[in-house]
Amino acid sequence: MNTRERLINVTSDLIRKKGYFGTGINEVLKQVGVPKGSLYHHFPKGKDELIREAVYWGGESQMQKYGNALKGKPAEEGLSDMIDVMVNELINSNFEDGCPIAAVAMASGTIDEEIREACAKVFVGWQNNLAGYLERRGIDNAQVKAEELYSMFEGAYVLSKAHRDVKYLLLQKKFIGTILNS
Amino acid sequence: MNTRERLINVTSDLIRKKGYFGTGINEVLKQVGVPKGSLYHHFPKGKDELIREAVYWGGESQMQKYGNALKGKPAEEGLSDMIDVMVNELINSNFEDGCPIAAVAMASGTIDEEIREACAKVFVGWQNNLAGYLERRGIDNAQVKAEELYSMFEGAYVLSKAHRDVKYLLLQKKFIGTILNS
């Protein structure tokens, strides 16, 4: 990775732990090992531009992980394995790594509107991917069901992180069939 | 309200907009109109103690609003009105006021463990209240269904805030019956 990519990568890791306000530029620069001028060289608009790029980066990385979990499987099995991606990320990070987008999206309304739009675009991308996946498996009302499954999983991700307990994510597996067959 | 309560009330309002890291003590003190010494007089442990109290305060206020929405109604109607509480708070705050707990809980793992525990206690209180409400209406597996409905609503709250669009919250109304009858 070049310097620009390393700045984005480190920021992407920090925002999923601490959100927009908790992510300090000095911490990013320190972790990457570059001086402050490097930030403005690569991101002329500063912190907000860097965070926006990190939202896209984190979103695309997460989409790849979900895609790998879903690939080639029947819907219920694929969705169950997608939940395990979130479960494993929480466990492996000692419950620090939640949804890479939600911690930033939480503060939308009080932060740069372009960052909020980036979060919304990532969420829509995930939902549309999931809707396509369900459609290809013959599920009716795939778009609505994809949006519903996303709400469920997103909420369970928040609750599991807050409780330091993956039971909320695992509970979703019981209701996948209920939603798909509704 | 006395000074202690005003400090908690203002902090409670700020954390739902900006989370733990986005809530600055100087902003709280300015809004309440008291000097810095006032913080340590009322909260000897400083910011973390104030935030913890604000989590409880916001949690209890929200529980009262949800309780009023549910009270005396059949389950589907009560839950639908509970969703409208969240919808109206987003609309009336120009999409700044999300879940009063989630924006703080998002950063758990990187913040004071007692604050995370406060968030978890509030969530459990809400879920248990809802489970009792469903039980009294003859719904079977009320505890599991209450936890599932909470995950759904929590996720939809996050997505609706991120999208500046209440459609994710309104979508939950379509699935209340599906969960209750599952």
Distance CA A70, CA A138 (A): 15
Both tokens of A176, joined, read 């996948």
pLDDT at B109 over 90: no
CA angle A12, A16, A20 (to 5 degrees): 80
Average pLDDT, chain B: 96
Q: What is the pLDDT of residue B40?
A: 95
Which of A98, A110, A124 has its CB closest to that of B106? A98
Measure the N-to-C terminal CA separation of chain B; round to a whole number of Å.
46
Our CA-based measurement puts residue A1 at a distance from the nearest CA of chain B, in whole angstroms, of 27
- Amino acid letter for position B165: D
What average pLDDT does this structure show over A95-119?
A: 93
Q: For residue A81, count CB atoms less than 10 angstroms from its CB and return exposed for 0-12, middle for 13-18, buried for 19 or more.
A: middle
Q: What is the pLDDT of residue A152?
A: 97
Task: List C-alpha distances in Å: B169 to A98, A123, B12, B47, B98.
Answer: 21, 15, 23, 32, 12
Chain A residue with Cα closest to B150:
A155
What average pLDDT does this structure show over B86-95?
A: 97
Distance of CA B49 to the CA centre of its chain: 18
What average pLDDT does this structure show over A137-163?
A: 96
Distance CA A18, CA A101 (A): 11
- Amino acid letter for position A149: L
Q: What is the pLDDT of residue A2?
A: 95
Q: Are A53 and A67 in contact (CB under 8 A)?
A: no
Residues 122-151 of B with CB under 8 A from A: 123-124, 144, 147-148, 150-151
Look at A99-103, A143-147, B89-93 and tell me which has the smallest mean pLDDT: A99-103
**Contact A26/B at CB under 8 A:** no
pLDDT at B1 over 90: no
Token pair 């994809």 is found at: A146
Residue whose C-alpha is closest to residue B48's, from B16, B29, B30, B25: B25
**Contact A120/B at CB under 8 A:** yes
This complex has an ipTM of 0.94
Q: How many independent structural domains does chain A possess?
A: 1
**B175 to A148: CB separation less than 8 angstroms, yes or no:** yes
Cβ-proximal residues to A60 (8 Å cutoff; 6+ apart), any chain: A122
What average pLDDT does this structure show over A64-75?
A: 97
Q: What is the pLDDT of residue B123?
A: 95
pLDDT at A139 over 90: yes
Residues 151-170 of A with CB under 8 A from B: 151-159, 161-164, 168
Q: Are A97 and A89 in contact (CB under 8 A)?
A: yes
CATH number for the domain including B8? 1.10.357.10
Confidence of residue B108 (pLDDT cuts 50, 70, 90): confident
Could you report the per-residue pLDDT of B24-61, keeping only the tens digit for each?
A: 999 999 999 999 999 999 999 999 999 999 999 999 99
Cβ-proximal residues to A41 (8 Å cutoff; 6+ apart), any chain: none
Mutate to test the interface with B, among A106, A126, A130 (most CBs of B within 10 A): A106
What average pLDDT does this structure show over A69-88?
A: 98
pLDDT at A54 over 90: yes
Residue whose C-alpha is closest to residue B50's, from B109, B121, B96, B112: B112
pLDDT at B152 over 90: yes
Distance CA A82, CA A89 (A): 11
- Amino acid letter for position B85: V
Distance of CA B28 to the CA centre of its chain: 19
Residues 79-118 of A with CB under 8 A from B: 93-96, 98, 101-103, 105-110, 116
**Contact B27/A at CB under 8 A:** no
Could you report the per-residue pLDDT of A116-132, keeping only the tens digit for each?
A: 999 999 999 999 999 99
pLDDT at B99 over 90: yes
Chain B residue with Cα closest to A147:
B168
Higher pLDDT, B109 or B140: B140
**A119 to B155: CB separation less than 8 angstroms, yes or no:** no
Which of B19, B152, B179 has its CB closest to that of A106? B19
Both tokens of A69, joined, read 């979990």
Q: Are B160 and A164 in contact (CB under 8 A)?
A: no
Q: What is the pLDDT of residue B115?
A: 96
Question: Residue B142's domain spans which residues?
Answer: 3-180
Q: What is the pLDDT of residue A108?
A: 87
Q: What is the pLDDT of residue A109?
A: 86
Cβ-proximal residues to A6 (8 Å cutoff; 6+ apart), any chain: A32
